[in-house]
Structure formats: structure tokens, C-alpha cells
């Protein structure tokens, strides 16, 4: 399940690459035994592409509008991705619908910036989520790591981390608190998943 002492993983992104940066920082600190073997981006003009390339990660750009349907988009992505032989696929702020590669036996995980099943589904990403949480008068929010299924944000929930909503919060302040929770939760879940899959060599 590993290359050397690290589990090979692929990441999918659509934006700033902050989650990928967090993975790289956790790996450098010795807390996340992964090797990011490939990155997919749905856009070419986002900072996440630069983050991956600067880290020496091969990057594939697959724009949804260049494919006639979601199925064709995903076939193109997975045909490019599978030769890198990841054992795990991690969605990191990826905004297009993703289909598990046919025959892929490893986990496909996503992190969502709310406490699913609330505030999930198509169109619920980024500040849209935080604004909806605040508009509903919730007293807490958080993040959820879940398995990716064939319905947006509907896969089996693995773990959640809760954060309080404070007086005076707006979408920006809540987003910062939730992202800090994401930076702790996602690597922790990945570590446990690696252990469940057989750990690392070493």
C-alpha cells in the first residue's frame, strides 16, 4: 500500500490550494505519511496549481466546459490519474462532480465546511455554506470528512469537528475558524485511514 514509508495519494482542487499546502506542511512535520503523486485542477488560473507545481507534483488541468458531460470529464481525469497509481484520492476544495475511477479500490474522500447532512449539496461551497449557516441562526458549525459517493456531499460520514459560532461572526470569520478545524481534521482522518489500510512500511 505504500511507496517507501509514504502512501501515494492524488489530490483534486479548484482553488487556492490551501488544503494541499496543509498536507505538505503536515508531511514535512512528520505527521502525515503521504506522497502526493498527482494533482488535478478544474481550472488553470488558480493558486492551487502553482502550489502543486512548486512542490514538484505533476498537475493535470481538466476544465469541465471542455467536455460534453460530467461522465466524459471524469473519464478524462481518471485516465490521466490512474497511471500515477494512487492508493487514495483526496478532494481538496474541488468544485466539480467527481466519479470514482472504475475498479479503484482505495478511499475517495472529501472535506466539507459544514456539519453534514446540513448545508451540503450542489452549489454549497465556500462562503455560500457559511452564509447559509449564519442566516439560519446556528450556534455551531464545523467540518465533515466523508466518503465520496454519486450524490454531492452524501457519502458516508467519517468524522466531524465542531466549532462555535461567536457573536459578531460573519462569513469571513466563520470560514477562518472552520478552515482551522479542517487543517486538523482532514490529516487526522487520513492518518487513521492509512493505518486501517495497512499502515506504512517502517
pLDDT one-digit tens code per residue, 5-24: 899 999 999 999 999 999 99
Burial (CB count within 10 angstroms: exposed 0-12, middle 13-18, buried 19+), residue 79: exposed
Q: How many helices, marked H, and strands, marked E, lie in the chain?
A: 5, 7
Is 129 found in the same domain as 83? no
Judged by phi (left if over 0) then psi (alpha if -120 to 50, else beta), residue 152 lies in: beta
* pLDDT one-digit tens code per residue, 120-172: 998 899 999 999 999 999 999 999 999 999 888 999 999 999 999 999 999 99
Which carries the bigger pLDDT value, residue 52 or residue 195?
52
Is 168 found in the same domain as 126? yes
pLDDT tier for residue 199 given thresholds of 50, 70 and 90: low
Is 24 within the bounds of a domain? yes
- Last residue within a domain, chosen from 88, 106, 124: 106
Per the residue annotation, which of 112, 127, 128, 147 is the catalytic one? 112
For 112-126, letters b (16+ CB in 10 Å) and e give bbbbbeebbeeebbe
pLDDT exceeds 50 at position 86: yes
Q: Which of 93, 86, 64, 87 is nearest to 76 (CA)?
A: 64
Is 157 within the bounds of a domain? yes
Is 190 within the bounds of a domain? yes
Is 82 found in the same domain as 13? yes
Specify whether the CB–CB gap between 145 and 158 falls below 8 A: yes
Is 1 within the bounds of a domain? no
Per-residue pLDDT at 5: 80
pLDDT exceeds 50 at position 201: no
Is 165 found in the same domain as 82? no
The range of the structural domain enclosing residue 66 comes to: 7-106
Report H helices in the chain: 18-28, 47-54, 70-81, 127-135, 171-196
Is 53 found in the same domain as 11? yes
Is 91 within the bounds of a domain? yes
Specify whether the CB–CB gap between 24 and 5 falls below 8 A: no
pLDDT exceeds 60 at position 4: no
Is 69 within the bounds of a domain? yes
- Last residue within a domain, chosen from 46, 78, 106: 106
CA torsion through residues 145, 151, 154, 158, sign: negative
* Residue 112: active-site member: yes
Is 2 within the bounds of a domain? no
Is 100 found in the same domain as 29? yes
Specify whether the CB–CB gap between 175 and 143 falls below 8 A: no
CATH number at residue 52: 3.40.50.170
Amino acid at each position: 500500500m505504500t511507496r517507501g514509508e509514504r502512501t501515494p495519494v492524488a489530490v483534486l482542487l479548484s482553488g487556492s490550494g490551501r488544503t494541499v499546502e496543509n498536507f505538505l506542511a503536515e508531511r514535512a512535520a512528520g505527521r502525515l505519511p503521504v506522497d502526493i503523486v498527482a494533482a488535478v485542477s478544474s481550472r488553470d488560473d488558480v493558486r492551487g496549481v502553482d502550489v502543486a507545481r512548486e512542490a514538484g507534483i505533476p498537475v493535470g488541468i481538466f476544465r469541465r466546459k471542455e467536455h460534453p458531460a460530467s461522465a466524459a470529464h471524469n473519464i478524462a481525469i481518471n485516465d490521466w490519474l490512474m497511471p500515477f497509481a494512487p492508493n487514495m484520492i483526496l478532494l481538496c476544495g474541488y468544485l466539480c462532480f467527481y466519479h470514482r475511477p472504475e475498479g479503484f479500490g482505495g478511499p475517495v474522500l472529501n472535506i466539507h465546511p459544514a456539519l453534514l447532512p446540513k448545508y451540503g449539496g450542489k452549489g454549497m461551497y465556500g462562503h455560500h455554506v457559511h452564509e447559509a449557516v449564519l442566516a439560519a441562526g446556528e450556534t455551531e458549525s464545523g467540518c465533515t470528512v466523508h466518503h465520496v459517493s454519486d450524490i454531492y456531499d452524501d457519502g458516508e460520514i467519517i468524522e466531524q469537528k465542531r466549532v462555535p459560532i461567536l457573536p459578531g461572526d460573519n462569513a469571513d470569520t466563520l470560514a477562518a475558524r472552520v478552515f482551522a478545524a479542517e487543517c486538523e481534521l482532514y490529516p487526522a482522518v487520513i492518518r487513521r485511514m492509512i493505518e486501517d489500510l495497512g499502515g506504512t512500511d517502517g
